[in-house]
Amino acid sequence: MTIEIEAEHRLGAFRLEAAFASGPGVTALFGRSGAGKTTLVNVIAGLLRPARGRLAVEGALLLDTARGIFVPAHKRRIGYVFQEGRLFPHLTVWQNLLFGRWFHRKAAHPTMAEVVALLDLAPLVDRRPAALSGGEKQRVAIGRALLADPRLLLMDEPLASLDAERKSEILPYIERLRDETKIPIVYVSHSIPEVTRLATTLVLMAAGRVEAVGTVEEVMGRLDLAPKTGRFEAGAVLEARVASHDATYGLTQLRCAAGELTVPRLALPLGTAVRVRIRARDVIIAREPPRAISALNVLRGRVAEIAAGDAAQCEIRLALGSASLLARITRRSLAELDLAPGSEVFAVVKSVALGDGPETVEI
């Protein structure tokens, strides 16, 4: 495993009692505000010494309270990107980047040229931070962290202070960082679109505890975890590939374990892997194949699980082949459709959120 951590600590009335292990790629710590994500990241960074804990990164033991081991933050070789860039305002972009190299002067990789190319910083190197957009500042901050030759990169809600346009601008760079470098990333977020797009491993946290660890598809497809991901955004994530394009009507067909999905035309080659997020509130359930409707996506499956919601609604997990889909319907509909585990149904999907972009598209 790339990261193995156990930590227990109390901060006032808040108690952190979390543990997880994950591999390469992006490990997303996901949960609502106050879940303990930043506290756990600060333990990993060495900014907080827990009452009890153990941390190993890439085979290096950095913390073991039982054995009296606590490697200080500046010796852990862990890069940290905060919500704000925290750049030196009096230095140029180039000089800010050089500051990262200062922490590991003998490092040959990544080189300055590689980081500048990876993050498309060449047009910015002579500017000062005041002349940069929020997204550009974050790219520089990421570059500075990379030039310290980290064994692990921590990113604590790096897009939280950016508007939607700036987020769209920087997300592809984080994807390139994930896909083109071997540096594991711990990414903190409470945004489902961000973790859907970026995460290799999803760690769901609530009230200082780790509630689940797994792929995005596994964790988001669990009905028991839907209340902890937020009722409004609760839904399933499916891994899909571009199967074909319909030039006549401007559509693209995606193939996944649940069947085929039709979405507005994507400028992606055939075979490209994408993630789609289908929110529970965007799924309609029918007992018979629906006829003469505008929705293009009707998937056949069965009811796998029913969970209590509030007084008026309930949550349902549908099994569609090897995939799961979540649906939220009223208790009246549950009774009138006579639904129970095992019932054969048709899921009408009203909208899909695409993993190659933050937007939701109506279909």
Does some domain include residue 221?
A: no
Amino acid identity for residue 167 in this structure: K
Whether 251 maps to a domain, the answer reads yes
DSSP state of 356: T
- The verdict on 194 and 244 lying in the same domain is no
- β-pairing verdict for 209-214 and 235-246: unpaired
Does residue 166 form part of some domain? yes
Of 153, 183, 214, the position where a domain reaches its end is 214
Q: Last residue of a domain, which of 185, 214, 243?
A: 214
Please indicate, yes or no, whether residues 204 and 239 belong to a single structural domain of this protein.
no
Containing domain of residue 29, as a range?
A: 3-214
Q: Is 240 exposed, middle or buried (CB count within 10 Å of its CB: 0-12, 13-18, 19+)? A: buried
Co-location of 36 and 80 in the same domain: yes
Asked if residue 334 is part of any domain, the answer here is yes
Q: Domain end: 179, 214, 249, which one?
A: 214
Q: Cα separation of 43 and 55, whole Å?
A: 9
- Is 322 among the domain residues? yes
pLDDT tens over the chain, length 363 residues:
689 999 999 999 999 999 999 999 999 999 888 899 999 999 999 999 999 999 999 999 999 999 999 999 989 999 999 887 788 999 999 988 888 776 655 655 678 888 999 899 999 999 999 999 888 999 999 999 988 889 999 999 988 888 888 888 888 889 888 988 889 999 999 888 888 889 999 999 999 999 999 999 889 888 888 777 766 567 888 999 999 999 999 999 999 999 999 999 998 899 998 888 898 989 999 999 998 888 889 999 999 999 877 778 899 999 998 999 999 999 999 999 999 999 999 999 987 766 544 444 445
Q: Which CATH number is 346's domain given?
A: 2.40.50.100
**Do 186 and 248 sit in the same domain of this protein?**
no
Co-location of 152 and 269 in the same domain = no
Q: Are residues 199 and 309 in the same domain?
A: no
Across 112-124, b (16+ Cβ under 10 Å) vs e yields: beebbebbebeeb
Whether omega before 110 lies within 30 degrees of 0, making that bond cis, reads yes
Question: What's the number of domains the chain is made of?
Answer: 2
Q: Tell whether 222 is covered by a domain.
A: no
Contact 53, 63 (CB under 8 A): yes
Q: Verify that 28 and 88 share a domain, yes or no.
A: yes
Tell me the C-alpha distance between 67 and 53, whole Å: 10
For the record, the structure tokens of 180 come out as: 């083109």
Q: Are 19 and 6 in contact (CB under 8 A)?
A: yes
Quick check: 81 and 100 in contact, CB under 8 A? no
CATH number, residue 166: 3.40.50.300
Would you say residue 111 lies in a domain? yes
Q: Which residue has the tokens 């498309």?
A: 120
